[in-house]
Chains A and B, each alone.
Chain A
Amino acid sequence: MPDHFAVPEPDEAVKLALRRVRETTAVGGGSDMEGLEFNEVVVNMGPQHPSTHGVLRLVVTLDGELVKDVIPVIGYLHRCKEKLAEKRTYYQYIPIVDRTEYLASMNCEWGYVMTVEKLMGIRPTRRAEFIRVIVGELMRIASHQVAVGTFVADLSPLGTAMVFYMFRDRELILDLLEEVSGARMMFNYLRFGGVRYDLPAGWVDKCRELMKRMPKLIDEYEALVDDNAIFLQRTQGKGVITQQDIVDYGITGPNARASGVPLDLRRTRPYSVYPELDFEVCTAAHGDVFDRYRVRMDEMRESVKIVEQCLDMLPRGRVQLGSLRAPYVITPPPGSCYVGQENPRGEYGTYIVSDGSRYPYRLKFRDPCFCNLQLFPKLLSGNKIADAVAISGSIDLVLGGIDR
């Protein structure tokens, strides 16, 4: 028999789902109408699926269209990053951190570089701090564009124009970041004590011009979906994350802020020059899918404000401690340290244990999407499959971070 006709062996996750199905129908919870029996079906969504945003596998137990239980299976993109950290020097590891949450690379690098700087006891130069904030916030806008764009594209498969508008404008931001760092996606730009290159001539003006245009572009996106009755019906009231969930599961980022919790590490655990900047923490009241969309759109506007302030306040000076060529190999003193920063998806940080050598002894990522994904069984159960897709799109997962 050819390979593709063979039914694969059920693996652990599917076996677990099948066990649970047998448990409920055994109690007689299936029969609803006289003489009719209802069966629950175990269906596999993924790991290759257009709506799971990466190689996420959901083993879904369905009763008709209703989702009874979800078992997320991850690890299809596990790239051994934490073990690789023990074989690369601190400097060599920066490009690998880039590829953790590949939609928000600058912020991921920042989370790693801040921890190493704290271990070493050094602080970056002031100009470099402002540049980091600027590129970090530009990356936040670009990341939200992809997140909201793909979420809306999921609701009707690529049928809305919104994702095309968002990707068009994301290219404008990536152009700016490419001028600064040399790459479109994996920048390898932040260094211990500063950034790699200074801003090129004319970059500040181009950035200012784009930030002047940005609010109008965001208006364009909102004009496409905000008043759409179908969008509102599909998103309002669905997938509510309660505040108890946030406390229990450690949900951070826009998912927590949409439930009314003002948890923003730029304000609660300030780092870099954020204390000097004037911006608001965007929250919403209900915590449903629409509120998560709303919070991300508001955050894009706040990021524009932050970038404009930083461009005005940008001081002169060097962008790296010491000469531009050193140090390539650093040996932080023995100790351990964790620093978290506000990634577009939540609290992203690295816990590094150093033994004084040139390689980290242990490096652990605290990834926001890993913690957010734990909520899936609770969040998706009781909804129809179509709502499940909308809810999972609104949680904004990036498998690179979940699997590391």
Chain B
Amino acid sequence: MTLEIGTVDLTMDEIAGRLAAAFPVELSAVSVQEPDTVVAHLERTRLKDVARRLKELPQLAYETLNWIAGVDLGAQLESVYHVYSWRTNTYLELHVTVPRAKAELDTVTDVWPAADWHEREAWDMMGIRYLGHPDLRRILLKDDFVGHPLRKDYVDLAENHPHA
């Protein structure tokens, strides 16, 4: 089996249209960002279900997860998923927001195994907890670090600087 890239020839608008048709309720604000990315907002409760179905879509199979980013939007935290479809050679950028007080999301490691470390990093830096993750612990910072540094309200604590 050789992985083929770009075997399916669809325009970006067609892809966006198919996604909007396949997920009318779950995806909102589906738009196209030239040259090859579709941007959409996803409701957090449907994340796992949509992820599984995205991977199995007939022509658009989004099989590879490129990265996950945590973004601090003030009242909400956002988890951005960037996925790639080999057949159409296009990307899909999913934005999922969670309230700051209860920053929890389902994990997608069973759909895209690459999410393992990306979710750990989002937990480490931004404090978004991924439920069902096999091993959610800090990845870049030391184990007893206090706080989530990439949040906008992070204050440099003395206990994080024993060697100052």
Contacts and interface: CB of A to CB of B under 8 A. Distances in A.
A338 B37 contact: yes
Given A75-B142, A82-B125, A268-B6, A248 B36 contact: no
Interface string B92-106: 010000000000000
Given A247-B86, A269-B36, A262 B65 contact: no
B143 interface: yes
Contact of B64 (A250, A337, A362): A250
A374 B31 CA distance: 32
Contacts of B35: 269
Interface residues of B, number: 41
A250 B65 contact: yes
Contacts of A362: 69, 71-72, 150
Interface string A323-360: 00000000000000110100000010001010000000
Interface in A361-404: 361-362, 364, 366, 370-371, 373-374, 403-404
Interface centre among B69, B91, B141, B149 (most CB of A within 10 A): B69
B80 interface: yes
Contacts of B131: none
Interface string B125-161: 1000000000101111111000001100010000000
Contacts of A11: 143
A247 B64 contact: yes
Interface of B: 1-3, 5-6, 33, 35-37, 63-67, 69, 71-72, 80, 82, 84, 86, 89, 91, 93, 112-114, 116-117, 125, 135, 137-143, 149-150, 154
28 contacts: A75-B141, A80-B149, A82-B125, A82-B150, A83-B149, A83-B154, A243-B2, A243-B3, A246-B64, A248-B113, A250-B66, A250-B84, A261-B5, A262-B5, A268-B6, A269-B35, A338-B37, A338-B82, A338-B93, A340-B66, A351-B80, A361-B71, A364-B69, A366-B67, A371-B114, A371-B117, A374-B116, A404-B140
Nearest to B66: A250
A45 interface: no
Contacts of B143: 11-12
